[in-house]
Amino acid sequence: MLSVFLLSAAGFTVLTTEFIIVGLLPSIARDLQVTIAQAGLLVTLFAFTVAAFGPFLTAWFARFERRKLFISVLVMFGLANTLAALAPNIGVMAVARLIPALGLPVFWALASETAVDIVGPQFAGRAIARIGFGIVCATVFGIPVGTLISDAFGWRSAFAILAFVAFAKALLLFVYLPKTNLHQHQVSLRSQLKILRSPLMQGHVLLSILVFSGMFTAYTYLADILERLAGFDGTLVGWCLMGFGAVGLVGNSLGGRAVDRHPLIASMVFCLFLIGGMVALVPSIHSTVGLAAAMGIWGVTQAALFLVSHVRLMKAAPEAPAFAASLNIAGANLGIGLGAMVGGRVIDTLGLGSVGFAASGFILISILLALLLMTFKPRAACAQS
């Protein structure tokens, strides 16, 4: 459906804005005359801003007409990326990163809810898989292409082009996206916040934190593993990472189908395979077939868990699905930050080859938590007003 496709295309721009900076940090640090560690705080600022403000901003903006809201968010992203392209110092750059961090959870959560409204709740997983396709494409194409543009024309050009794309997609939404009057009975802000009192909902958020902590304890350092342990050069590492993202297209599709059947079982199954992929990577590092298989399993299951976690939260709170989705986004960003920190400590104390095992510890705990959540009664998911 055209509306879902347009939202997916807009999601590509939104997620590329978040992750593109990873490949640009060395250039930004040199140009703005700061250290890599100081430039890296831009990533931390984005992630924790999403985590801290995302659920509450989503709850507040859920009452607005979606077409106008989505267009406004994309215009805001265009302005923020323009500011980043022109930033004279790290302070202005921090502001340019703060602005889109406020808009990302609002767009992603409400676009997911709108897609479900269009196709119906019975096909929620597949609808959000189409939205998630934009995320996978951002990982596979957006980040590498942004890095190539930076290498050829400078990092400011990458942000300038991203700003142009954001404005262009805002125009497309203005022309082709119909006004959404599907969500007639909007839930009040107070009623949305009440779902936080549900022990089941708290457990689902904790599950997302654990899953993303596990994924990013290892994934944050995957390039370093391939470079230092496998002995690959930068170009080969880049192609490996692109392949890792490309198999995520399969995971996105599998996750969308599995989560519609049973969200928690889907989460546990993909987590089990994820452990296998992460643990097998280093022992298979010098075998072409073994390394490809380990990375393939890891890439498929990681992409699937992005989608499964998102839909799982939405299904756990059907009375406030957008707010529930924003809670998953917040939990995911907390997990990303925590995983990166834990992975760094593991490397310092146990070595680079141990991060897969440390990551698997998080994932194993998440499987046990999912088993526990399956014992809760469905009615516990809702705090009825």
Measure the CA–CA gap between 203 and 201, rounded to whole angstroms. 5
Are 299 and 245 within 8 A, CB to CB? yes
Mean pLDDT of 166-174: 94
pLDDT at 129 over 80: no
**Band of pLDDT at residue 162, cut at 50, 70 and 90:** very high
- 384 band by pLDDT with thresholds 50, 70 and 90: very low
CA atoms within 13 A on the CB side of 318: 9
For residue 184, is pLDDT > 60?
A: no
> Please, what's the b/e burial string for 325-350 (b: 16 or more CB within 10 A of its CB; e: otherwise)?
bbbbbbbbbbbbbbbbebbeebbeee
pLDDT higher for 309 or 380?
Answer: 309
Percent of the chain as helix, strand, coil, to the nearest 5: 85, 0, 15
Give SS3 for 220.
coil
The CA distance from 53 to 327, in Å, is: 10
Q: What is the H or E stretch that residue 185 is in?
A: none
- Is residue 385 predicted with pLDDT exceeding 70? no
Distances (CA, A) of 179 to 70, 174, 231: 11, 9, 53
For the segment 342-360, the average pLDDT, to the nearest whole number, is 89
One-character DSSP codes across 151-174: HHH-HHHHHHHHHHHHHHHHHHHH
Question: Can you give the pLDDT at residue 191?
Answer: 67
Q: Which of 91-95, 115-119, 158-162 has the lowest mean pLDDT?
A: 115-119
Q: Write down the pLDDT at residue 1.
A: 66
Mean local confidence (pLDDT), 174-188: 66
pTM here?
0.76
**Matching residue, tokens 């969308």:** 256
Position 59 scores a pLDDT of 79
Instruction: Reply yes or no on whether the pLDDT at 148 is more than 90.
Output: no
